[in-house]
Structure formats: C-alpha cells, structure tokens
C-alpha cells in the first residue's frame, strides 16, 4: 500500500459520507484525518446540524461496528464500559461488555453526564482498553470515539475537564449548511434518510493497513520545528494560562501525516500544519480568567500564535 492507495481510500469514504453530509467537504476531510491518525474527534455545535449523522455515515462507509451512548446525568461508568454480572446457573461472574466495545463509538452530548462518568472514557481513549474487576480487556481495532456537545445549552451540563479535552485529537464545528446545500438535503431526504443507504467502501482490515501506512509519511525537521514553534507559542501567549501539551504536538504531527497521505503526498508540508493547528490545538488552550473577562478566547489566542509564527520554507 502506498500514498496513492490511501488517497483513493480517502476519496471513496469521503464520497460515501457526502451523500449524507452535504456541503461540508473540509469537515469530512478533517474527520478522516483524525480517524486515520488513530485519534478521537470532538464535535461542538448547535443541535440539528448533523453531528450524529456524520458519525453514523463514517461507520457505515467503513463497514465497522457502531454504538451510540446517550450521555445523561444519571449515566454510570459501568453503563459505558460494562460490568461483571453474577450468573446463578454457573455460579460465576460473567463480564457483560458495555457499548464502548465497538469500532466507532458516538458519545452523544458528552457534557451532560457527571465528571465520574466522563472519566470512564479516559482509559478507553488513551490505552484502547477497559479494566473490569482488575482485568484489562482490549477494545476492538480500529477504535474511534466521536463525542458531541451542544455549545448553546449550559444548564444541566458538566464542562469537560482539560484532561478529557486533551484526549481528543481535534475539535470541530459543523455549522449551518449553505442554502444550496440545504436545498439538496431537503431534496435527498424527502422519503428516506440518505445515511441508511450508505454501503461500506472499506473493511476494518483495510483501514488498519491505511493507519499503518500513515505512520510512514515523512516529515522533515523544519516542518517538525514549525509544529513545535506553534505549540510553544500557545504556552508563551500572554493571555494563556495553560497551553498545548506534548500530546497535542503528537496529535498535530500525526494528523498532518494523515492529511498529506489523503492528498497523495509522501511528506508533510507547512500548509498541513497551518490548516490543522486550529482544530487540533485550540480546545487545549485555557485562557487566564482576567483575560477571559476581557473577551479573549482560545480561538483568538490561536490566531495570534499562527500570525506571529513564521511559516518556514524548505531549507
């Protein structure tokens, strides 16, 4: 498998997903880059713009198992990971796997559950395993978490802590569709939901091979230096209390490798870094309280950093 095969696979998946998510090519490409780089995706937006549809469309186009977890205030950690249940017939405890045991897991409205239940995903996302009764049980491969949260409803929500946010390789917003795109959506779904008609275009085994191929995409020192300069800029910004972590640097590097491969290139360019940095780094930035009161946001800090960091040219 080479970069041309990766690009071909990416186009096939994108075309399949676009039958349900219309007019959002860049969003689909970013979701693919996160998936192929073995990361996880957080979608933060208003209700009804296609967050759940995007997750379902990806699962169907990839031919992988899909589970949806509706996060509510009364959700328990065991409702996510599973638990041991005593079997009266055998006299032994049996493990009942939770919905997290799937290739693609949709954590819907993740900020509506308590921090204790949110934390149940930490081990799953980082180590790709679940510990039940002291025994670590591997999750299916590939494993991809798509979490959603509404940014307009604050009552009854529990903001994700920094440690949880840092597990997500990228955060995106889908936004309203353009008028022409929304017209196409209405025309396509007059009688049925287009997501139900999506057929798999890639097998899980093929996806794993693509993910392995991504790691071989080259990245020269001057591009790596550009990544580090941007990350350091988030830490040194005068309005930032907490900047991007080393995990963020790795997430950005791997996402750039995936983007390069999806474009049919065998090396990462500075343009890849600049295009992905806002989605990969912004949600990891914590603004100082006194600056936040003045209207400074993580997004504005990220823009300052990108504007202040020179784009390197080939040495």
pLDDT (tens digit, 9 = 90+) per residue, 214-231? 999 999 999 999 999 999
Helix (H) or strand (E) holding 311: none
pLDDT value of position 289: 93
How many CA atoms within 13 Å lie on the side-chain side of 16? 23
Residue 140: how many CB atoms within 10 A of its CB? 16
Class of domain 1-74+101-216: alpha beta
Domain coordinates in residue numbering, the chain: 1-74+101-216, 217-310
Q: What are the backbone angles phi and psi of residue 239, rounded to the nearest 5°?
A: -95, -5
pLDDT value of position 193: 66
Virtual torsion, Cα 195, 196, 197, 201, nearest 10 deg: 70
Pairing state between β 129-132 and 144-149: unpaired
225: CB partners within 8 A, 6+ apart: 312
pLDDT value of position 272: 96
Q: How does the average pLDDT of the chain come out, rounded?
A: 88
Q: Mean per-residue pLDDT for 57-71?
A: 89
Q: Mean per-residue pLDDT for 79-95?
A: 82
Whether 152 shows a pLDDT value over 60: the answer reads no
Which CATH code, of 3.40.47.10, 1.10.8.620, 3.30.460.80, 1.10.8.80, is assigned to 217-310? 1.10.8.80
pLDDT value of position 145: 93
pLDDT value of position 133: 81
């Amino acid at each position: 498998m080479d970069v041309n095969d990766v690009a071909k696979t990416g186009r096939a998946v994108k075309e399949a997903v676009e039958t349900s998510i219309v007019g959002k090519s860049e969003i689909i490409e970013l979701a693919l880059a996160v998936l192929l780089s073995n990361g996880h995706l957080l979608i933060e937006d208003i209700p009804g713009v296609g967050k759940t549809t995007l997750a379902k469309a990806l699962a169907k186009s990839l031919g992988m198992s899909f589970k949806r977890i509706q996060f509510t205030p009364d959700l328990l950690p065991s409702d996510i990971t599973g638990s041991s249940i005593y079997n009266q017939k055998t006299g032994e405890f049996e493990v009942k796997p939770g919905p997290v045991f799937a290739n693609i897991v949709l954590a819907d409205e993740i900020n509506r559950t308590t921090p204790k239940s949110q934390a149940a995903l930490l081990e799953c996302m980082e180590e790709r395993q679940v510990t039940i009764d002291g025994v670590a049980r591997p999750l299916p491969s590939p494993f991809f978490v798509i979490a959603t949260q509404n940014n307009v409803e604050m009552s009854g929500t529990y903001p994700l802590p920094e440690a949880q946010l840092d597990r997500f390789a990228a955060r995106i917003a889908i936004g309203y569709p353009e008028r022409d795109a929304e017209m196409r959506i209405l025309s396509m779904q007059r009688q049925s939901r287009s997501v139900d008609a999506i057929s798999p275009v890639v097998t899980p085994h093929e996806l794993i091979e693509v993910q392995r191929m991504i790691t071989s995409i080259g990245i020269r020192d001057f591009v790596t230096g550009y990544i580090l300069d941007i990350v350091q800029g988030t830490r040194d910004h005068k309005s930032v209390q907490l900047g991007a972590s080393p995990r963020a640097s790795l997430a950005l590097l791997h996402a750039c490798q995936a983007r390069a491969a999806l474009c049919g290139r065998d090396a990462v360019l500075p343009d890849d870094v600049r295009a992905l940095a806002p989605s990969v780094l912004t949600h990891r930035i914590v603004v100082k309280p006194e600056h936040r009161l003045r209207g400074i946001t993580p997004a504005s800090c990220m823009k300052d950093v990108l504007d202040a960091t020179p784009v390197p040219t080939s040495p």
